[in-house]
Amino acid sequence: MLEIRDLHAAVDGTPILKGISLTVNAGEVHAVMGPNGSGKSTLAQVLAGHPAYEITSGDILYQGENLAEMDAEVRAQQGVFLAFQYPVEIPGVSNAYFLRAAYNAKRKAQGLDEVDPMEFLDFVEAQLTLVDMDPAMLHRSVNAGFSGGEKKRNEILQMAVLTPTLAILDETDSGLDIDALRIVANGVNVLKRPDNAAIVVTHYQRLLNYIVPDFVHVLAGGRIVKSGGKELALELEARGYDWLLEAVA
Amino acid sequence: MTTMIPAPALLSQANAAAATEAPEALRAERAAGAKEFAAVGLPTTKVEDWHYTSVSSIADATFAPMSGNASGVTAEQLAPYIFSTSWPTLVFVNGVYAPSLSQTTLLPAGIRVMPLAHAVTELGDVVARQLGATAPATRDGFTALNASFLGEGAVIHVAKEMVVDIPVHLLFVVNNAGVGGMQHPRVLVLAERHSKATLIESWVGLTDGAYFTNTVSEVTVEDGATLHHLKVQREGRGAFHVGTIEARQGRDSHYVSFAFATGGQLTRTNVYTVLDGEGCGTTLNGLTMLDGSQHGDVQTRIEHAQPKCFSRQMYKSILDEMSHGVFNGKVFVQSIAQQTDGKQTNNTMLLSRTAQVDAKPQLEIFADDVKCTHGATVGRIDESALFYMKSRGIDNETSRQLLTYAFAADVLETIENETIRDELERITMRRFTSVAD
């Protein structure tokens, strides 16, 4: 589904990713861990198509196509979804309107008819239980005045509505209390299918108690310095990152 | 320093107008207007209030007083500008009242609405009381000019303690027959004590040709009364529009103004109020949307003349292409006006590199126990919000349009009447998005 080959990326001319290779197959959950500044979030942003990041060399193949050549909105329409570390507030645009615009954009790209507001409301209200969200939140402006946990749950709601093929969760666990973490993780687990995949970017092992990865990769200095199974996350939890950084230094 | 454009063509027209036959009730004010205009003319950009707006193109052009030819305007053409057919609506076409297009049979109890020409006889006491009361001919050149042409316009009288839920609509329309013309309507509004009413002034151009609207509205909001007064300016793209609203408020009254401005090539909107009774308040909000080479200037002046009054202002502008927006918000707090509570915000979104804004808050405070704040921002589309929307599959164009609309949404939400709010939201949405709802 996703094949990253020797990816180098820079922001404002400063290299951040320095040769990342990673293959993600359908049905897999990959955890990307690493200390602050290792390039985890950059990888997530590059995959989503953030214009601030420049791919300087390497390839990203998504379903056999060159992802780097697609605009952010095309990637989303093709099933790539980034759950933001810091979801953006958009005062003046209601959550319901935003979700429907996104949903219809994807349907349009698939050659399907757009759904009308009433039809969509029925559909989206059925998704709310997944993230334990009050229907009133649909009529508030996107993320405006939401608590940290509400924002993250709203990301998972968007994911539920858009049913991505490749979901990238960028530190979705940061700043969440245990209850919110459980809700978010449950949402991700329920949405998991044999034909989709997830990349879970996180600083802490805690999230991986709830979302069990098939593979764990440790990023440091813009490279993957170690890959392994889920037990690697536990080892990192016990030993920290330093032993790995020393080993590669 | 030259502060005056003499505008000889306009002056001779003003003198001629003031000398023509007129109802007794208007005669003195006309003469006062012509006399004042001879003295002050039109302002140059050396006049502080006109620093960013040059009206020399108005002085240089020649406009003939509009004759009121309404034959080319149909009810069907006006339908998009009528908020509701069940609201009392006075229609003025090319400067003159058009009874056949107006709707006056649905007037609720307690409110009287009629063209100025009828009111001079039927509401003589209201005209006598209101005319020149809040906007005297000596105010400035444009008001003087308006006074010298007095004759067209409307009078609205809300009787004491009457709560009128149905808005009254004044619709001023200009079509091709009005190109090259000018109109100087006067609107007089008296909301008696403890009454409540809503008034909409609409300015609509069905032509892209040049014409000149110079309007003055005089408003009195008596003790305990609430008046919602909306101005919807959708003049034609060739139009010059100078509009002044001057209100005076009594004790515990509330004057709520909304100025929506999208039309014209050169427009100036003045909204002035005097808080002249203890405990009264005013809410002056507005939205300006310009593109092309439009120039739109909004000036507010709030005079806190009594203690314990509040004022709230929120003006937003969305400026595209090479347009130029101006906002100047003045708040005067007299020494007697202790415990004044004033707040002003002004936010501009620039959609292009060539759009321009001049924003100036102006607070003059002579009392020592007051709370007055002001804030102005100028910004562009929020790039992080733009990426967020695109990352959800919404295309660049739609994302930009939605964010632009969203910028305007909160000020539109302040409009109390749902029909008007929905309609202005729809107009705004249509201007910036391809989305129908």
The number of C-alpha atoms within 13 Å of A230 and in the hemisphere containing its C-beta is: 12
CA distance to partner chain B, nearest, from residue A240 (Å): 33
* CB contacts < 8 A (A, B): 82
Among residues of chain B, what percentage have pLDDT more than 70?
A: 99
Looking at the structure, tell me whether residues B107 and B152 fall in a common domain. yes
Which chain A residue is nearest to residue B425, measuring alpha carbons? A92
Residue B172 pLDDT exceeds 50 = yes
Task: List, as one string, the DSSP characters of A51-100.
Answer: TTEEEEEEEEEETTEEGGGS-HHHHHHTTEEEE-SSPPPEEEEEHHHHHH
Among B356, B382, B408, give the residue marking a domain's end: B382
Give the model's pLDDT for residue B373: 95
Residues of A in contact with B393 (CB under 8 A): 73, 76-77, 102, 105-106, 109, 162
Residues facing residue B272 across a β-bridge: B246, B301
Q: What is the pLDDT of residues B195-228, one digit of tens each?
A: 999 999 999 999 999 999 999 999 999 999 999 9
> Which chain B residues have a beta carbon less than 8 Å from that of A51?
387
pLDDT digits (tens, 9 = 90+) for B235-252: 999 999 999 999 999 999
Comparing CA positions, the residue from B327, B281, B284, B328 lying closest to residue B304 is B281
Give the pLDDT score at B1: 61
Question: For A2-248, CATH number?
Answer: 3.40.50.300
- Are B376 and B388 part of one and the same domain? no
Per-residue model confidence as pLDDT tens digits over A108-167: 999 999 999 999 999 999 999 988 899 999 999 999 999 988 999 999 999 999 999 999
pLDDT (tens digit per residue) in A169-186: 999 888 888 888 888 888
Best residue of B382, B392, B397 to probe chain A, by most A CBs closer than 10 Å: B392
CA B388 to mean position of chain CA atoms: 37
- Say whether both B285 and B314 belong to one domain: yes
Judge whether residue B355 has pLDDT over 50. Answer: yes
CA A188 to chain centre: 10
Per-window interface: B 368-387 vs A, CB < 8 A: 382, 384-385, 387
Residue A128 Cα to chain centre, angstroms: 19
Amino acid residing at B299: Q
Answer yes or no: is pLDDT of B175 > 50. Answer: yes
Q: What residue in A sits closest to B407 (Cα-Cα)?
A: A92
Q: Give the CA radius of gyration of chain A.
A: 18
Task: Assess whether B317 and B433 both reside in one domain.
Answer: no
The alpha-carbon gap from B230 to the nearest alpha carbon of chain A, in Å, equals 22
Closest CA to A91 of B233, B316, B344: B316
What digits encode the pLDDT tens for the residues A35-94?
A: 888 999 999 999 999 999 999 999 999 999 999 999 999 999 999 999 999 999 998 899
b/e map of B382-408 (b: 16 or more CB within 10 Å)?
beebbbbbbbbbbbeebbbbbbbbbbb
What is the residue-averaged pLDDT of chain A? 92
Using CA coordinates, name the residue in chain A closest to B396.
A73
The mean of the pLDDT values for chain B is: 95
B403 and B254 part of one domain: no
Residue B436 — pLDDT band, cuts 50, 70, 90? very low
Residue B329 pLDDT more than 60? yes
Residue B429 lies in a domain: yes
Six token digits for residue A50: 């953030």
Given an 8 Å threshold on Cβ–Cβ distance, is B392 in contact with A48? no
How many Cβ atoms are within 10 Å of B4's Cβ, its own excluded? 14
On whether both B345 and B355 belong to a single domain, the answer is yes
For residues B330 and B429, state if they share a domain: no
pLDDT > 50? residue B113: yes
Q: Which residues 50-109 on chain A approach chain B with CB closer than 8 angstroms?
A: 50-51, 71-73, 75-77, 81-82, 84, 87-93, 97-98, 101-102, 105-106, 109
pLDDT score at B437: 39
**Does B375 score more than 60 pLDDT?**
yes
List the domain range (segments joined by +) for residue B426: 383-437
Q: A88 and B388 in contact by Cβ < 8 A? A: yes
For chain B, how many structural domains are there in total? 2
| pLDDT at residue B431, rounded to an integer | 78
Yes or no, beta carbons of A92 and B393 under 8 Å apart: no
CA–CA dist A168, B314 (Å, integer) = 40
Domain assignment present for B13:
no
Secondary structure element (H or E) that encloses residue B216, with its range? strand B212-221
- Residue A165's contacts (CB-CB under 8 Å, 6 or more residues apart) are A1, A63, A78, A79, A80, A195, A196, A197
**Structural domain boundaries in chain A:** 2-248
Residue B42 resides in a domain: no
CA B270 to CA B134: how far, in whole Å? 13
SS3 content of chain B, % helix, strand, coil (to 5): 25, 40, 35
**pLDDT, tens digit, 9 for 90 and up, residues B43-88:** 999 999 999 999 999 999 999 999 888 888 999 999 999 999 999 9
Q: Does A247 touch chain B (CB under 8 A)?
A: no
The answer to pTM > 0.80 is yes
Per-residue pLDDT at A241: 83
pLDDT on residue B31? 97
CA dihedral B371, B377, B383, B384 (to 10 degrees): -10
CA dihedral B383, B389, B393, B396 (to 10 degrees): -40
